[in-house]
Amino acid sequence: MKLNEIRTFVAVAEAQSVQEAGNRLGLTQSAVSRLIQRLEAELGVALFDRQTKPLVLTRDGEQALAHARRVLQATDDLSDAFAAVTRPRGLLRLGVAHVLTTLTAHQPLDTLRAAFPDLTVRLHSDWSTPLMEQVRNGTLDGAVVLLYEGQVPPEDLAATCVGREPVSIIAPPGRRDPTIHDMNALGWVLQPDGCRYRTSLTELLARHGLPLNIAVEAFDQSLLVSLVARGVGYGLAPLRLIAPVTRATPISTVNVPDFDLTVAVWLVRARFTGRIGPVFDALEDSLRAELPSRFPSPSLPVLHSAAE
């Protein structure tokens, strides 16, 4: 099999369209189809279910895609090892945990665009665990993820912790000394199940004999903070990591003595990043600079809450 067949297969799998893959590769649809057919003949399997639109990989196709991406990455690494140093260019596929989109898409993204003008950044937001898996299988080049204290990324990924932040209970401005029962009675605005914040809150409420009362679920942290500010419910947030949001939206924090949760921001990348290695070095420096400087500990009103 040939590298152009493998590249074409990956392009069609990502575009889910022969026509779009051809546009990206500068090939006609018939040329793309011939290359895919040759690869399928060599492998002895069907890679796509051609009865669906957009195109969907077969089970064999999904397995082949993981191998194909590793082959292409290996060829790029081989080429880079003996090539002159050049400015990183092309596509950077960067994953970002939901809560960290505000942090990453501000100054760190601006820094990358200024330092690497020939680079196109494709951002993908998801939970941290699937993002790390996508880095491992080659779907993403790297990711900025959020893990709770004591948790570390998988050993087969290159990972650096760039900062830590406590998670605070946030409240509408002007609420006076709410208790755990008061807050749960009004309800919580939280990310859907799967969020570590939500798990810790559920455990806290269980210690007081209370079931978690959800008012609103949403992924977007800006929306959640705005709902808290409007009095829809109480929420949870790592304040320095969403500082641009809290500066624009008035909220206060609630001090609950037995609620203690710290999260860590990690930058993970594949072990061999090839020509885009310097991009991750710059991103790491920018993230480290952001956490202590631009996002100082916010001076929000604090409401002291008794356990009951």
pLDDT in tens, 88-137: 778 889 999 988 888 888 889 999 989 998 888 999 999 899 999 999 98
Q: Which residue has the higher pLDDT, 82 or 150?
A: 150
Strands 48-49 and 56-57: antiparallel
The CATH class given to the 90-145+267-294 domain equals: alpha beta
Sign of CA dihedral 212, 216, 219, 221: negative
Q: Which fold has domain 168-262+297-304?
A: D-Maltodextrin-Binding Protein; domain 2 (3.40.190)
List the domain boundaries for the chain.
3-81, 90-145+267-294, 168-262+297-304
pLDDT on residue 56: 92
Cα–Cα dist 280/278, whole Å: 5
Strands (E), the chain: 48-49, 56-57, 90-97, 119-126, 142-148, 158-166, 168-171, 188-190, 214-217, 235-237, 252-255, 262-269, 302-304
Cβ pair 301, 252 in contact under 8 A = yes
- What percentage of the chain has pLDDT greater than the value 90? 42
Name the pTM for this structure: 0.62
Cβ pair 127, 97 in contact under 8 A = yes
Is 80 exceeded by the pLDDT of residue 183? yes
Give the residue ranges of DSSP H helices in 89-195. Answer: 101-104, 107-115, 128-136, 180-186
Is 50 exceeded by the pLDDT of residue 293? no
pLDDT on residue 303: 47
How do residues 186-239 score in pLDDT, each as one tens digit?
A: 999 998 887 778 888 999 999 999 999 999 998 888 888 999 999 999 999 888
Burial 9-19 (b: 16+ CB within 10 A, else e): bbbbbebebbe
pLDDT on residue 195: 75
pLDDT on residue 289: 85
Q: Which two tokens stand for residue 160?
A: 């650096």
Is 50 exceeded by the pLDDT of residue 281? yes
How do residues 28-82 score in pLDDT, each as one tens digit?
A: 999 999 999 999 999 999 999 988 888 999 999 999 999 999 998 888 777 766 5
Same CATH topology for 3-81 and 168-262+297-304? no
Q: Tokens 């790297």 correspond to what residue?
A: 142
Q: Which CATH architecture group holds 3-81?
A: Orthogonal Bundle (1.10)
pLDDT on residue 30: 92
